[in-house]
Structure 1
Amino acid sequence: MNEPAAYLGPRGTFTHEAAQALFPEPHFQNTPCDSIPDVLTAVDRGEFNFGVVPVENAIEGSVNLTLDWLVHHVDVRITGELVYPITQNLMVHPNHAGRPLRGFTRVVSHPQAVAQCRSHLRKHLPEARVSYVDSTAEAARHVAAHPEEAWVAIGPRSAGALYGLSILESGIQDYPNNFTRFIAVGNAWDHPLADPAGMKSSLLVTLPSDFPGALHQVLASFARLGVNLTRIESRPTKKKLGTYHFFIDAEQGAEESAIDKAVGEVESRGCHVRRLGSYPCYSFDKINGMRPVDNGL
């Protein structure tokens, strides 16, 4: 098959690992892009059949850039989801592998990775200056390029392997149950190795501005029809202060028609509903032939 799939790069990042899990080579050809908007725009223009971007982290919450770009800038379908376990690592140049933690002067990583490890850093590297870069892979490259400096990078083990770093500590994230949700966008596809763990539908609901209690009635429609909502989140419409879109994720079980009925009820109350996609959901540890590795955002 070898179909093209874009992902938020560069190589050696957490999204790269997720893209390899969702679109494994040689069945697909994964290509890095510089930013989330670049990935979504390239898929929207038909330059790639598929794309992979992060949408939510268990510690830091939603990736607002992904949500806003889906609403305001592109018209692409969500076609898959991967929930990916995250293990953050402290990585150093081999020249400094024996140095005690408090001997390092700088921590380099992506802001999300630093945020996921903030308590650990405050406790074990309180004097180290934090420098932010565009990706965890860039952090690893930066540390590797300065062997004379006592610097440490935070990121996935794959980034350390790519740039020849040593793992000083593993599992430094502040919370053990740390996961990132990645979504696939673009054309419909079938995973060549794994069966999905379930199905989900994502909706974007915009409420009428002069309808008191509209959100309550929206949620009541899904509840009355037995549709389990796994996520609801508001984002500004960017048109008027105090007006919002609501992202809603719903489990899609045997009674798929219940979602259609609920949407019909919601629309009958004057709400606008945009269907972002109905898609399979994958758990990384169930993907055949693969094992969990260090990953994240």
Structure 2
Amino acid sequence: MPANRLKVAFLGPPASFSHQVQSQLQIPPPSSFSLPHIIGRIEFVSNSCFLFLQAAAESFDNTDAELLPHVSFADAFTAVQQQVADYAVIPFENSTNGSVVQTLDLLADRNALYTDVEVCGEYYLTVHHCLLVRKGTYPSGWAGYDGSITKLYTHPQAWGQCDNLLSQHFKGIERQDVSSTSKAAEIVSKEMGEHAAAIASKFAAEHHGVDILKENIEDRADNTTRFLIFRNTRVERPAQLEFEQPSTSTEATTRKTLISFAIDHSSPGALANALLIFKAHGLNLTSINTRPSLKRAWQYIFFVECGRTPSDENKEAVLKALDDLRHATEFCRDWGSWKDQL
């Protein structure tokens, strides 16, 4: 393996990754898994392992990169911090369900474990769900469904993305959370004592040998997960990847910046004063999130994402805003800037 080959961390437990990806795509095990084996062959599925895999694969398309599955977001962050991986691709928010809490907790970095990690890019991936049932249960498909399903299985994040269908056709039906959408399909494939269904992917249906009762059951056709791409600030690279390079388009490209900070909660107007700093420097606030500080109950770490169209007038806007924030907050941290890919 070339010494300069990029290593990209993503969430995908090795056991399930090896079993499912190798069996369906006929590719090498994770230790030698690389993009040439994926591009043009992988089919998107909503199971987290494959969702993160595709995001990592497409983010580093046309790049000689080795994809490294990790069992948790924290492990992927640690791999970047310790320079075991060059990049990590981590989900940040879903267009239907909102922010990914596990990622925000890592960005809170309460114990200063990831001091050298920063955001350098983003990637958007559309998510589709299917309603799956045991093979042969409903030969006529959705048109012949008689309302006999008594239990539903899926990953907790999928419920909110399919609320319209659930409210209309499965109101009052028992819902069972499981570790992944693929696991839900597996349970339904083996269930013999009741009429159960799973919310999972088309790939999961094929893999576990169950029928698709209804496809594309998500509330919105644009149901999308946004991933952030992380790197280590201390590592120097001779060439930037496409998402790191300055825009060559004649149209101005928005740059996004993510900043975290904490305030003195006992000081009236402290949060308002901090937020006004962004306006003063021409930075457009696009989202605000919070997580508990864990230093004292009901006190928080704030995460602000802002955007600007680069110009000669505002090229120092982020640096000036950070300087002002240091005087108006208990602490603040710049998590990096990147090109808006929306």
Task: State the TM-score, normalizing by the size of structure 2.
Answer: 0.71
CA contact (8 A) 2:205 2:212 kept: yes
C-alpha change, 1:256 and 1:4, in structure 2 (3 Å) is same
Q: Which amino acid aligns with 1:3?
A: L
**Paired residue secondary structure (2:332):** strand
C-alpha change, 1:50 and 1:59, in structure 2 (3 Å) is same
| Structure 2 unaligned regions, length at least 5 | 18-44, 234-239, 248-252
Distance 2:328 2:80 in 1: 33
Identity %: 29
Q: Which amino acid aligns with 1:31?
A: L
- Root mean square deviation, CA, Å: 3.0
Residue 246 of structure 1 deviates from its aligned partner by: 1.0
CA contact (8 A) 2:261 2:329 kept: no
* Alignment pair present for 1:215 and 2:260: no
C-alpha change, 1:228 and 1:107, in structure 2 (3 Å) is same
Distance 1:190 1:280 in 2: 12
Q: How many residues align?
A: 283
Name the structure 1 match of 2:153.
108
CA contact (8 A) 1:195 1:282 kept: no
Task: State the TM-score, normalizing by the size of structure 1.
Answer: 0.81
Residue 63 of structure 1 deviates from its aligned partner by: 1.5
Match of 1:172 among 209, 217, 222: 217
Residue 106 of structure 1 deviates from its aligned partner by: 2.9
Match of 1:20 among 57, 71, 75: 57
Distance 2:89 2:146 in 1: 35
C-alpha change, 1:157 and 1:212, in structure 2 (3 Å) is same
Name the structure 1 match of 2:6.
3
Distance 1:115 1:171 in 2: 14
C-alpha change, 1:85 and 1:92, in structure 2 (3 Å) is same
Distance 1:16 1:268 in 2: 41
Match of 2:178 among 133, 158, 166: 133
Q: Write 1 or 2 for the structure with the bigger share of strand.
A: 1
Distance 2:202 2:254 in 1: 29
Name the structure 1 match of 2:168.
123
Residue 244 of structure 1 deviates from its aligned partner by: 1.6
* Alignment pair present for 1:205 and 2:261: yes
C-alpha change, 1:43 and 1:152, in structure 2 (3 Å) is farther
Name the structure 1 match of 2:76.
39
Q: Which amino acid aligns with 1:151?
A: A
Query: 205-214 or 160-169: which moved more?
Result: 160-169
Name the structure 2 match of 1:287.
none
Say which structure, 1 or 2, has more relative contact order (CA 8 Å, 6+ apart). 1
Query: 114-123 or 240-249: which moved more?
Result: 114-123
Structure showing greater radius of gyration is 2
Runs of 4+ in 1 over 6 A off after TM superposition: 194-197
Match of 1:81 among 122, 132, 143: 122
